[in-house]
Structure formats: C-alpha cells, structure tokens
Chains A and B, each alone.
Chain A
Amino acid sequence: MNLIKKLAGLLWIAIGLYAGYILIVTQAIEKFKSPKPEDLIPAIIYAFVLTPIIVGGLVTFGIYALQNQYDTTEE
C-alpha cells in the first residue's frame, strides 16, 4: 500500500500540471484575448489565483507523497 501511495505521487504531479495547462490555455488566455472588459477579471483570477493554488497544491501534494510523507496517516 505504501508503494502505491508513493508512486501515485507522480500521478498527482501530472494531474496538477495538466490542470495548469487547461486553466491557462483554455480559460485564462481565451479570456485575456476577449474584447469584453468583464473577461479581464476572470482571466486574472484564473492565471494568478487559481492556477498557483491548484497546480502548486497538487504538485506539492505529489512531491510529499513521493517522499512518503503520508505513511503516518495509514490505517
């Protein structure tokens, strides 16, 4: 079980990076390009608030899993 938890860390890192790609490419950039001024706020929030939290959080979580940091939480 510990090995699965450890290796799954790679998956969380990959998901974090993919989520970052989706947020930046399909949401933030699209909205930055939009001529509507009200699209600027979501674009800024996607790029500078959500992406760091989601990507940074999942990648850090994945790194912790790879370092066996969650062994102590095992049942």
Chain B
Amino acid sequence: MSNHTTSKGIAGVIAASSLGTLIEWYDFYIFGSLATIIATKFFPSGNPTAALLSTLATFAAGFVVRPFGALFFGRLGDMIGRKYTFLVTLILMGLSTFLIGCIPSYEKIGFLAPILVLLLRLLQGLALGGEYGGAATYVAEHSPEDKRGFWTSWIQTTATVGLFLSLLVIVTTKGAMSKEAFADWGWRVPFWISIVMVGISIVIRMKMKESPLFQKAKEEGKTSTNPLKESFGNKLNFKFVLLALFGATMGQGVVWYTGQFYALNFIQTTLNVDITQASNILMTALAMGTPFFIVFGALSDKIGRKWIMLIGMLIALLSYRIIYTKMYENGSVKSKTEIVANTKTTSAIAADAKNIGDSILTTITNKEYTDGTMYIETKKVNIHADITKADEKKDSKIDKITNLDRGSFWSLVWLVFIQVLFVTMVYGPIAAFLVELFPIRIRYTSMSLPYHIGNGIFGGLLPTIALFLATKAGQVNEAATKAGAALPYEKPYLEGLWYPIIIAGVCFVIGALYINNKKRNLND
C-alpha cells in the first residue's frame, strides 16, 4: 500500500493546509502593517512604559516567541500528530488576532490596553512558530517523492500571499471610508475579518486526516517520546539543525526580508513615496512573483533543492546594491528635474492648541517634475512665546510625500519584482529541503526551529541593523560635511544592504560546502 496520496487528494490537502497557513501569515502581518496606527491607539508617545511595552511587542514576538513556538508545537506535533497541532496553532492565532481588534484604546482603559495587546501579540508569535513546520511536514508527508518540491512550494507561497492579502485588505478598507473613520475604528476591520477566514479554515482542517507517514510510524510505535532531546541533544541530528540554519534558512531569511519588507520600507522612508502607492508597488510585484514559488519548487524536483536556493542567494547578494541604486534613481526626487516655474509655496500661522501662547508656522511646498512626479513637503515649526524654550531640532517637523509618475511606478515594480524572484528561488524549495533533512520521529521539531531562527532572528533583525548601518553612514557624512572634508559614503542609503549581503554570503559558502543535493526518503 502506498503511503502517498493521489494527485486529486493531495490538491485537497494543499488547499486545506495552505489556507490556514496563509491566514496565519495574514494575521501576523496586519499587526506590522498597522503598527503606526496601533502605536497611537495603544502605545501613546511620550509615555516611557508604553514605549517599553511597544518595543517588547515588536521584538519579543519575532525574536523570542516564534522560535519558542517552534519548539513547543514542534514537540507536540512529533508526539501527538501533525493534524491536531497545527489546528491548535490556527485557533490560537485567529482568536488572538480577532481580540486585538476588540481591545478598547489606551484612552479608555489605560495601561490594560497595551498589556493586552502585548499578550495577544506574543500569542500570535507563538502560534506562527508552530504553524509553518506543521503545514510543511504535513504536505510533504502526503506527497510522492518526485513531486515533493512542487507540492510543498504551495505552502511556500502562503507567506507572500499572506503579506499581499494584508496589504490588500488594509488598502481596500482605507479606500472604503474616510481617513478619520479609518483612524478612529476602521483599522480594526482587518483584525475582525480574520475570524471569518479562520472559522472557515478550522472547519476544513477538522475534516483532514493525519499524515499517512506519521500515522504509520505511530502505529508501529516509532514516534519519539522526547523530540526536543532527540533533536538537539543528539549530535547526529543537531549537526543537521545547525546546517539547516547556517547553510539555508539564515540566508533565506535575509533575502526574504530584503525583497519584501526592506524594499517597502526603502520606498516609503528613503524615497518618501506615498504609503498607498508604495503598497501598490509591492502588491503588484508580489502578484507577479508569486507563481515562481511553484516554478522553482517543481524545478527542485528535477535538479535538486541545493543549487536553486544557493544561486538565488548568490544573485541576490551580488545585485542588491545595483537594484537599490536603480530604485533610488527612479524614485527619488533628487534624481529628477524640477519644473521650477510650477513650484508653489504657501504658509500659514495658527495658535498651538496644546501650548497656550505658542503658535505653529506651517509651510506647504508643492513641486512638479518633468516626468510628472509630484512632491509635497509640509514643514511645521513651533514658535514659542518664551524664546528660551526654542530648540531648533525639536521644534521643526517635515513631512515629505512623493507621488510617482507612471513610468517611475513601473520601474520600481520591476525592481521589486526581481527581488521577489530571488525570494522565490531561495524560499520555493526550502520546505522540501528541510523535511528531507530530518527523520520522521523528530521532523516537526527539528525543521521548525532553524526555520524560525533563520527567518525570525536573522531576517527579523534586518530592519534594525540596516537602519543602524545607514544612519551611521549618514552621520559620518554629516560630520564630514561640517568639517569641510570629502564625503566618505557616496551613497549612504545603500549601507544598510551590507547586512543581507554578508549574511547571505556566509550562508552561500556554508551551503555550497556542506549541503548534500540528494533527495531523501521521508520514511526514514
């Protein structure tokens, strides 16, 4: 009797598994995408305790709780089964997300609000840590050996499609109501929508059967009684956990984050592109790139997983600086020709409602460029009645918004699409690669941890370290300008890219040297 499911049967397995995983990614990302508005509702600025809780929510959910979730649920999955474990993670994620959307604001219930948000965000991280390994293992254990890369690549699309869906729901909700209504209550809608999707997914998952390979192992009494000890206490297995982390998932994590989050952040903060237009650029690139997860997953069945992942990493690290230079040239108004005659500046002064006696000078400058790009700069300067309170840095605030012309918009779409293509190369075959690396009795535990450390820690660190490197380069340039010396960094906005380049480079060398390109039998 074959342990694998028919093509028709496996399509159902894929649909049921992928839908749940997709929703979990959606749930995880809407919090990140709405972080600014969540901060204003739950973590008021200027309050040190709220700031501390906010940082904890950001860092702990990604760095600490995700790997912990991988261990906790991985252990359960290897002991009691894949099906029930990743059903629990789905329920946990869905409820946490829905409840975040229901918490009254800080203004209404005080510190209980940020504490509840933090707790629910940690539960989200915990659930996500347990979900992916279960879904990938479950699908792989249903797949025939010669199509394992193809079938598991569907699971691989879920993280990107989840990100796409989160952006789509947010943009659509924003478009359906006024700016004020969205800021007031509309931001809660994406969280509420989750419960409907999770409900459907739970019903579908309840009908699923246990993985045939795990079921067989269980019946034969071959499952592990202590998966954590076997995974990490046994050198024979632990060396593969380390190899998976440093030879594959570490590089995959930084390529994934650079191609999607760093690109979006670069477009919004360095190029100052309007948030909706920036989201549209990323969504278009993601939609164009997503089918390639399947292409590279299927290709890995023919030529092996190793070189597709590693070549993706290599091309990515060699081309990042070129791509981001092109993005800057196409998106920054500093690279465009201004139609000076069309520049309009208006100024108005109004009383400061918060500080009696003070006033605010608002200057709005509209600029137009030869390619059709529009730029609006809003400068607000606090003018104190008591001039001894004046502080040049604190009193001045500048908002910059660029609305790109069609040509620049599409140039950025293509440049982000190329990065998404690298993501599909490293990410498409990785589920099949990871499940093949570990034996059935400890597969869920062993593959989940390196995946979530690679993604959550190495990938999750990217925004912080890249910002640190770019800011440092900017500060060095500023100091050189003041001293009248030549600028040490010609393009300081590219300096943040050294982090993914170095991590992907080390990962490429380790992977090329130590990873085996042979497929393994999952029954082992």
Contacts and interface: CB of A to CB of B under 8 A. Distances in A.
A and B co-occur in one complex:
yes
Interface of A: 4-5, 8, 12, 15, 26-27, 36-42, 45, 49-50, 53-54, 57-58, 60-61, 64-65, 69-70, 73-75
Contact of B457 (A26, A39, A42, A53): A53
Given A49-B64, A50-B461, 7 more contacts: A12-B510, A36-B51, A41-B59, A64-B235, A65-B514, A73-B515, A75-B518
B242 A73 contact: no
B493 interface: no
A54 B239 CA distance: 15
Nearest to B54: A38
A45 B239 contact: no
Contacts of B49: 37
B245 interface: yes
Contacts of B246: 12, 57-58, 61
Interface residues of B, number: 33
A57 B245 contact: yes
Given A15-B506, A61-B242, A40 B52 contact: yes
Interface string B28-55: 0000000000000000000011011011
A5 B514 contact: yes
24 contacts: A5-B513, A12-B510, A15-B506, A37-B48, A37-B49, A37-B51, A38-B48, A42-B464, A49-B64, A50-B457, A50-B461, A53-B453, A57-B246, A60-B242, A61-B243, A61-B246, A64-B239, A64-B242, A65-B514, A70-B243, A73-B514, A73-B515, A75-B516, A75-B517
Interface string B326-359: 0000000000000000000000000000000000
A40 B55 CA distance: 9
B312 to A, nearest CB: 19
Majority secondary structure, B binding face: helix
A36 B246 CA distance: 34
Contact of A4 (B64, B243, B513): B513
Interface of B: 48-49, 51-52, 54-56, 59-60, 63-64, 235, 238-239, 242-243, 245-246, 453, 457, 461, 464-465, 468, 506, 509-510, 513-518
A39 B464 CA distance: 12
A37 B43 CA distance: 14
B512 to A, nearest CB: 11
Contacts of A39: 55
A39 B59 CA distance: 11
A57 B250 CA distance: 12
A38 B55 contact: yes
Sorted from nearest, which 9 A-B pairs have the closest CB atoms?
Answer: A38-B51, A38-B55, A73-B516, A61-B242, A37-B48, A41-B55, A70-B514, A64-B239, A69-B239
Contacts of B516: 73-75
B89 to A, nearest CB: 22
A42 B52 CA distance: 10
A53 B253 CA distance: 15
B309 to A, nearest CB: 15
A38 B52 contact: yes
Contact of A70 (B238, B239, B461, B506): B239
Nearest to B514: A70
Contacts of B515: 73
Contacts of B55: 38-39, 41-42
Contact of B56 (A41, A49, A58, A61): A41
B129 to A, nearest CB: 14
A65 to B, nearest CB: 7
B48 A45 contact: no
A74 B518 CA distance: 9
Q: Among A5, A41, A49, which residue has the most Cβ atoms of chain B within 10 A? A: A41
Contacts of A58: 246
A65 B461 CA distance: 27
A69 B235 CA distance: 9
Contacts of B518: 75
Q: Among A40, A60, A70, which residue has the most Cβ atoms of chain B within 10 A? A: A70
Contacts of B242: 57, 60-61, 64
A46 to B, nearest CB: 9
Contacts of B59: 41-42, 45
B466 to A, nearest CB: 13
Contacts of B453: 53
A3 B298 CA distance: 34
B51 A73 contact: no
Contacts of A57: 242, 245-246
A12 B511 CA distance: 13
Nearest to A71: B514
Contacts of B51: 36-38
B52 to A, nearest CB: 5
A47 B228 CA distance: 24
A5 B509 CA distance: 10
Contact of A8 (B52, B243, B513): B513
